[in-house]
Structure 1
């Protein structure tokens, strides 16, 4: 599903309140009860308040407790942690793990399903140690396991897997050492499943298991004919990168039987892509996979598990639609449709129902992480007023002055059309050398002033010409923010993933500036120019006027999935500072910071590109010594330059106060 692209509009004559802020920034839609604005205009996070039932009511057993995000920033700064800053709300992470498992458990009971649910967290979604430890602690009571797709991830899984009732699912390409490592896990009493993604893996698994004398646990990933939806639909279908076709499924099954390992085949797995927006796709895929499960069971294999993979979405924009940044279903509906369809297919085939595995990662970790950045500058087309002197001007400028005064009482859209015509004339005359720079500057200043007037006229109109929408975006101020899109929001640049952006304070004030956001990299792609909305994708976001005596903080939400590990070092901007926050009623502000993880220093980032800080200091010293010898600088100044150079190597890569 596609959405219209529109600039932001609030369109209300009512007095501005904190509720207006909640509506405009979509907190009540994408926030799902976890985020609200207090009476003083500060944004709060409620880690325990999200309902887990389809009734959308807060469970009575959860304490509703909020934390001011502004207070977290202040405490972090008091401990020397400057912005940009990643805030991890660990209690929210626990809540999401419990929601997922409880939803499946409730549905299994309601449907009288004879099997159990065995969720696994896909490590690739967020490999950070503190995140994984919190997930495993929260999921221990549910026998919540891990999924891995590489040797490093498998090594993490084996070392952190303590609950022998939970599973380790091994996906991805596998060489002999990967397979050997998984079989070691089985030797240690763990339930480690090698999921065959390519037919060539079968012989390697057979060979390695016989060499080691270990009976493997094997699953087969099937290439379904069902094709996913959304940005990651290419993960599915018969042309997908991973999985076995139906002939390959049969060949793999026969190979295992010939090798005397027929009893090892116990699992069927499919994956139709991350962030699946449409529940109908999930239903179709589940039915198709259940048919494969039943057929293999009828062939005599001791099938026990059906792994439905990932795909459970996050409603980034709160629209509850099948738009690619949303989802048209609830967690409860997702669980019910999977359980119901598997049960229906199996009962029709007279096959025992499998235990159900899901590999939901994004839905578990996305919401717990918030990126905080500070607006440090402003780029505006509204900063210079045209200074129109008396006397004669060039004809094209006289025409622009007439449009500015609206001598002909034209409608706003007529003024716009006349304005565009004259702007083209100005540019052509200047390029041909018939217009001086001062005249070009005056003409452009008049042009922007008229544009501003037209935009203000249409600002709150519900129906607006497409041309005006384009002009609104063109006229928007650019707020320069102290962060790197490429390091902290890589999916926004790479695949246009939307993330909610909200000021974390001043939400009791009416915002008045239509903006886009730009980062501090030397790359024009380092920008955010699409924003969440329940109806449209906004091309601008209404923010507050900057106060020179007050910092202005923005929060970017739902950044806990993939962004941490996939961010790159463009312009050598490194990882940002990070704090881990827990609820604590006995603390004055209702929380405490358990862990503080410093971001990369300049020296650390340079090390990734094979530079050594000590070597750089030596090279700088040589040049300073030479400049001192040639009397370009005084010795004291040379010492000061070298000291500051060395000190900056220890500092972080982002802008300092």
Structure 2
């Protein structure tokens, strides 16, 4: 058990806490699930990009799925081998493409014909052959939140099957492009297996049709998106997930690439915040804490549910909104949640905050971002110091 009270006392609040043993366990579960096939578990850096987190996974053998050149740099700095790094994303600047090519990473994952044209031109300029994959949009409804759905034609991601086939033929004919992989990702927080299997089958059929015209792909990238438990969700077992995908790959000699993010780190993290005081407005109860939407945005952005616990308190519960100091009505962690009576200084723990927590934090209202702490084998270490006011203004210049 992690002693949240001790951590809050040592590092103050608001605070992020990560269980590195849990992270290792989740990685091992997925790697084992795909053990019957050549595979690469490529951690989705956007879920939690702390260098210590990436480095911990790199030491276990993970690759990195990156959606900015900054994430590519983080992955390299954290020890991920360049041949295990994928650079994805809808919009890549020319300088980002150039840096990725000169860094000689595994491949660039492309999302449009226009982007492929830029990569081809820059590769020609550099005198290299760019290893690429193309993101295919299989038009499958992932049955998830619309903001994190990515596999429908109405979403901005990828290209349709026919366009993808044409682009692969074009890339195969180019002296500056080397089409080595194919990619799809239908959404995040997926809790139903059938849409994943259906998407894999569609994309696998495309791979077979390409093989028939002598275009042989090496990497079959299934994206990420495996859901976790925030409340009472029934999630997909890693073995079932792997078997559903592998069942679509008969006759194909490909390395399966899986890009988990939330699945690896989501339930490995907690957000700690302290009660400042309570207030009641005509019967409406508010528990005001020192953390805010700038620290953990998911409840405000997605109306996302996170389990909330007041450490050491129980009984006499009544409904309350847990809110922060930011000057926005959207600044809340939970609404109408049964809570025991609280007092100033009580510690509140927001569960399942390891993914899309700190990485989406901001300095809104000139609020320094929290510290981050890792717990591994009973050992505690600070992996990011709390920001100071001086950190916030360091790059600003006054015009006098």
| TM-score, structure 2 normalization | 0.91
- Equivalence for 1:337: 244
- Equivalence for 2:349: 555
- Equivalence for 1:622: none
Q: 1:362 aligns with which of 249, 262, 266?
A: 262
Which has more helix, going by share of residues?
Answer: 1
Verify: 1:88 aligned to 2:23, yes or no: no
- TM-fit CA distance, 1:511: 4.2
How many Å separate the matches in 1 of 2:162 and 2:311? 55
- Equivalence for 2:6: 71
How many Å separate the matches in 2 of 1:268 and 1:603? 45
- Equivalence for 1:273: 187
Q: 1:295 to 1:163 in 2, by over 3 A?
A: same
Which digits, 9 at most, give the CA deviation of each residue in 1:328-349, with x for residues without a partner? x223322221222x23xxx3xx
- Equivalence for 1:222: 136
- TM-fit CA distance, 1:299: 1.6
Verify the 8 A CA contact 2:63 2:80 in the aligned structure 1.
no
How many Å separate the matches in 2 of 1:182 and 1:243? 20
Verify the 8 A CA contact 2:16 2:358 in the aligned structure 1.
no
- TM-fit CA distance, 1:504: 2.5
User: What RMSD in Å do the two structures reach over aligned CA positions?
Assistant: 2.5
| TM-score, structure 1 normalization | 0.57
Which has more strand, going by share of residues?
Answer: 2
- Equivalence for 2:311: 504
Higher-Rg structure is 1
Which digits, 9 at most, give the CA deviation of each residue in 1:67-87, with x for residues without a partner? 33223333x1xxxx3222222
Q: 1:84 to 1:261 in 2, by over 3 A?
A: closer
- TM-fit CA distance, 1:494: 1.0
Q: Secondary structure at the match of 2:40?
A: coil
Verify: 1:567 aligned to 2:361, yes or no: yes
Verify: 1:168 aligned to 2:85, yes or no: yes
- TM-fit CA distance, 1:279: 1.7
Which digits, 9 at most, give the CA deviation of each residue in 1:575-622, with x for residues without a partner? 023322222xxxxxxx332226332223333456x366xx9xxx9xxx
Q: 1:597 aligns with which of 381, 384, 388?
A: 384
How many Å separate the matches in 1 of 2:50 and 2:329? 30
- TM-fit CA distance, 1:163: 3.8
Verify: 1:244 aligned to 2:159, yes or no: yes
How many Å separate the matches in 1 of 2:76 and 2:124? 22
How many Å separate the matches in 2 of 1:214 and 1:94? 37
Q: Secondary structure at the match of 1:380?
A: strand
How many Å separate the matches in 2 of 1:122 and 1:267? 17
How many Å separate the matches in 1 of 2:102 and 2:306? 41
Q: 1:211 to 1:94 in 2, by over 3 A?
A: same
- TM-fit CA distance, 1:318: 2.4
How many Å separate the matches in 1 of 2:351 and 2:240? 24
- TM-fit CA distance, 1:162: 4.8
- Equivalence for 2:285: 477
- TM-fit CA distance, 1:274: 1.4
How many Å separate the matches in 1 of 2:115 and 2:359? 28
Q: Which runs of no fewer than 5 residues in structure 2 stay unpaired?
A: none
Q: Which runs of no fewer than 5 residues in structure 1 stay unpaired?
A: 1-65, 109-114, 321-326, 382-447, 449-474, 531-538, 584-590, 620-657
Q: 1:489 to 1:298 in 2, by over 3 A?
A: same
Q: 1:524 to 1:260 in 2, by over 3 A?
A: closer
Verify: 1:148 aligned to 2:148, yes or no: no
How many Å separate the matches in 1 of 2:267 and 2:55? 17
Verify: 1:513 aligned to 2:300, yes or no: no
How many Å separate the matches in 1 of 2:8 and 2:116? 52
Verify the 8 A CA contact 1:70 1:505 in the aligned structure 2.
no
How many Å separate the matches in 2 of 1:580 and 1:503? 21
Which digits, 9 at most, give the CA deviation of each residue in 1:402-437, with x for residues without a partner? xxxxxxxxxxxxxxxxxxxxxxxxxxxxxxxxxxxx
